[in-house]
Amino acid sequence: MKRTLVVVLAVSLVAAAGAGAVHLGGFLSLPRAAPVGDVTLYGHIGTLMPRGGRFVLRFDPAWFTSGVTANTAAAEDGAVPRGQPVPNDNYVVEESHRRYTYVVPANARVTVLTNKGTAGITSTPISVAQLAQVVRGRPPRGLQLFETLDSGVWIRVHIDTVRTIDQQYRP
Protein backbone atom coordinates (compact mmCIF):
# COMPACT_ATOMS: atom_id res chain seq x y z
CA MET A 1 0.00 0.00 0.00
CA LYS A 2 2.80 2.43 0.94
CA ARG A 3 4.61 1.82 -2.34
CA THR A 4 1.41 2.44 -4.34
CA LEU A 5 0.83 5.73 -2.50
CA VAL A 6 4.41 6.85 -3.16
CA VAL A 7 4.11 6.00 -6.88
CA VAL A 8 0.77 7.84 -7.18
CA LEU A 9 2.20 10.91 -5.41
CA ALA A 10 5.33 10.88 -7.60
CA VAL A 11 3.27 10.62 -10.80
CA SER A 12 1.01 13.44 -9.60
CA LEU A 13 4.00 15.66 -8.85
CA VAL A 14 5.56 15.00 -12.24
CA ALA A 15 2.27 15.70 -14.01
CA ALA A 16 1.77 18.92 -12.06
CA ALA A 17 5.35 19.99 -12.77
CA GLY A 18 4.69 19.59 -16.46
CA ALA A 19 1.75 21.95 -16.05
CA GLY A 20 4.03 24.68 -14.67
CA ALA A 21 4.01 24.33 -10.89
CA VAL A 22 3.66 21.75 -8.17
CA HIS A 23 0.88 22.43 -5.63
CA LEU A 24 1.00 20.43 -2.43
CA GLY A 25 -2.14 20.60 -0.32
CA GLY A 26 -2.93 24.15 -1.41
CA PHE A 27 -0.28 25.70 0.83
CA LEU A 28 2.96 25.21 -1.08
CA SER A 29 3.71 26.00 -4.67
CA LEU A 30 7.06 24.97 -6.13
CA PRO A 31 8.40 26.58 -9.33
CA ARG A 32 9.06 24.46 -12.38
CA ALA A 33 12.63 23.21 -12.65
CA ALA A 34 14.91 25.21 -14.93
CA PRO A 35 15.21 23.78 -18.45
CA VAL A 36 18.30 21.74 -19.28
CA GLY A 37 21.28 24.00 -19.88
CA ASP A 38 19.88 26.86 -17.78
CA VAL A 39 21.38 27.97 -14.48
CA THR A 40 19.57 29.74 -11.64
CA LEU A 41 21.65 32.21 -9.63
CA TYR A 42 20.94 34.39 -6.60
CA GLY A 43 22.60 37.75 -6.16
CA HIS A 44 22.38 41.50 -6.57
CA ILE A 45 21.92 43.75 -9.57
CA GLY A 46 24.77 46.20 -9.98
CA THR A 47 23.52 47.89 -13.13
CA LEU A 48 20.93 47.23 -15.82
CA MET A 49 21.48 49.42 -18.86
CA PRO A 50 19.75 49.52 -22.25
CA ARG A 51 21.98 48.71 -25.21
CA GLY A 52 20.41 48.39 -28.64
CA GLY A 53 17.17 46.43 -28.40
CA ARG A 54 18.23 44.66 -25.22
CA PHE A 55 19.77 45.34 -21.81
CA VAL A 56 23.14 44.59 -20.22
CA LEU A 57 23.09 43.34 -16.63
CA ARG A 58 26.06 43.55 -14.27
CA PHE A 59 25.30 40.92 -11.62
CA ASP A 60 27.01 40.21 -8.27
CA PRO A 61 26.26 36.57 -7.37
CA ALA A 62 25.97 35.37 -3.78
CA TRP A 63 25.03 32.15 -1.98
CA PHE A 64 21.50 32.12 -0.53
CA THR A 65 21.69 29.36 2.08
CA SER A 66 19.19 27.78 4.49
CA GLY A 67 19.12 25.18 7.24
CA VAL A 68 22.33 23.50 8.36
CA THR A 69 24.24 25.14 5.50
CA ALA A 70 23.16 28.62 6.64
CA ASN A 71 23.82 27.93 10.33
CA THR A 72 27.30 26.54 9.68
CA ALA A 73 28.31 29.31 7.25
CA ALA A 74 27.02 32.04 9.58
CA ALA A 75 28.91 30.54 12.54
CA GLU A 76 32.10 30.26 10.47
CA ASP A 77 31.69 33.93 9.47
CA GLY A 78 31.06 34.98 13.09
CA ALA A 79 27.52 36.15 12.32
CA VAL A 80 25.99 33.82 14.96
CA PRO A 81 27.52 31.81 17.80
CA ARG A 82 28.33 28.18 16.95
CA GLY A 83 25.31 25.97 17.49
CA GLN A 84 22.84 28.87 17.20
CA PRO A 85 20.39 29.16 14.29
CA VAL A 86 20.37 32.07 11.89
CA PRO A 87 17.34 34.37 11.90
CA ASN A 88 14.57 33.36 9.47
CA ASP A 89 16.50 30.19 8.52
CA ASN A 90 18.56 31.88 5.81
CA TYR A 91 21.96 33.43 5.47
CA VAL A 92 23.52 35.08 2.43
CA VAL A 93 27.21 34.42 1.83
CA GLU A 94 28.94 37.17 -0.12
CA GLU A 95 32.22 35.61 -1.30
CA SER A 96 33.18 38.62 -3.41
CA HIS A 97 31.51 41.54 -5.08
CA ARG A 98 32.72 40.77 -8.58
CA ARG A 99 30.10 41.65 -11.17
CA TYR A 100 29.46 39.41 -14.15
CA THR A 101 27.95 40.62 -17.41
CA TYR A 102 24.78 39.10 -18.88
CA VAL A 103 22.51 40.03 -21.77
CA VAL A 104 18.83 40.59 -20.96
CA PRO A 105 16.31 40.59 -23.83
CA ALA A 106 13.76 43.41 -23.54
CA ASN A 107 11.01 40.78 -23.26
CA ALA A 108 12.57 38.73 -20.42
CA ARG A 109 10.14 37.90 -17.61
CA VAL A 110 10.62 40.05 -14.48
CA THR A 111 8.75 39.98 -11.16
CA VAL A 112 9.19 42.25 -8.15
CA LEU A 113 7.54 42.26 -4.74
CA THR A 114 4.79 44.80 -4.12
CA ASN A 115 2.32 45.30 -1.29
CA LYS A 116 -1.24 45.28 -2.59
CA GLY A 117 -2.84 46.29 0.72
CA THR A 118 -5.33 43.64 1.82
CA ALA A 119 -3.95 41.25 -0.82
CA GLY A 120 -0.61 41.39 1.00
CA ILE A 121 2.79 40.89 -0.55
CA THR A 122 2.41 40.08 -4.23
CA SER A 123 4.77 39.06 -7.00
CA THR A 124 4.12 41.69 -9.67
CA PRO A 125 5.27 41.35 -13.28
CA ILE A 126 7.05 44.38 -14.74
CA SER A 127 9.09 44.98 -17.89
CA VAL A 128 12.88 44.91 -18.06
CA ALA A 129 12.76 48.64 -18.89
CA GLN A 130 10.78 49.27 -15.69
CA LEU A 131 13.27 47.19 -13.69
CA ALA A 132 16.10 49.29 -15.15
CA GLN A 133 14.30 52.39 -13.85
CA VAL A 134 14.06 50.81 -10.38
CA VAL A 135 17.77 49.94 -10.43
CA ARG A 136 18.58 53.56 -11.32
CA GLY A 137 16.52 54.74 -8.33
CA ARG A 138 13.65 56.09 -10.44
CA PRO A 139 10.82 53.55 -10.23
CA PRO A 140 7.92 54.02 -12.65
CA ARG A 141 5.00 56.07 -11.33
CA GLY A 142 2.66 53.90 -9.30
CA LEU A 143 5.12 51.06 -8.68
CA GLN A 144 5.64 50.65 -4.94
CA LEU A 145 8.11 47.89 -4.11
CA PHE A 146 7.49 46.02 -0.86
CA GLU A 147 11.23 46.16 -0.15
CA THR A 148 14.27 47.38 -2.04
CA LEU A 149 16.19 45.23 -4.48
CA ASP A 150 18.80 44.83 -1.73
CA SER A 151 16.78 41.72 -0.84
CA GLY A 152 18.38 40.17 -3.91
CA VAL A 153 17.08 38.56 -7.07
CA TRP A 154 17.12 35.16 -8.71
CA ILE A 155 18.09 35.08 -12.37
CA ARG A 156 17.68 32.15 -14.74
CA VAL A 157 20.42 32.21 -17.35
CA HIS A 158 20.95 30.28 -20.58
CA ILE A 159 24.66 30.62 -21.48
CA ASP A 160 24.97 34.44 -21.30
CA THR A 161 21.33 35.44 -21.66
CA VAL A 162 18.99 36.09 -18.73
CA ARG A 163 15.55 34.53 -19.23
CA THR A 164 13.93 35.55 -15.93
CA ILE A 165 14.58 37.89 -13.00
CA ASP A 166 12.61 37.42 -9.77
CA GLN A 167 13.00 39.46 -6.58
CA GLN A 168 13.66 37.45 -3.40
CA TYR A 169 11.59 38.11 -0.26
CA ARG A 170 13.79 38.66 2.81
CA PRO A 171 11.92 38.86 6.14
User: pLDDT at residue 15 above 70?
Assistant: no
Domain positions in the chain are 1-33, 34-167
* Dihedral pair phi/psi, residue 87, rounded to 5°: -65, 140
Distance CA 104, CA 136 (A): 16
What's the pTM? Answer: 0.77
Q: 24-77, pLDDT tens digit by residue?
A: 444 445 556 778 889 999 999 999 999 999 999 999 999 999 999 999 999 999
Name the H helices within the chain: 2-19, 67-77, 128-135
Q: 75-112, pLDDT tens digit by residue?
A: 999 999 999 999 989 999 999 999 999 999 999 999 99
What is the structure's pLDDT at 14?
A: 42
Kindly list the distances between the CA atom of residue 81 and the CA atoms of 63, 72, 73, in Å, as whole numbers in the listed order: 20, 10, 11
What is the structure's pLDDT at 121?
A: 86
What is the structure's pLDDT at 30?
A: 54
Q: 114-158, pLDDT tens digit by residue?
A: 987 777 888 999 999 999 999 999 988 888 899 999 999 999 999
> 120, exposed or middle or buried, with CB in 10 Å at 0-12, 13-18, 19+?
exposed
Grade residue 19 by pLDDT with cuts at 50, 70 and 90.
very low
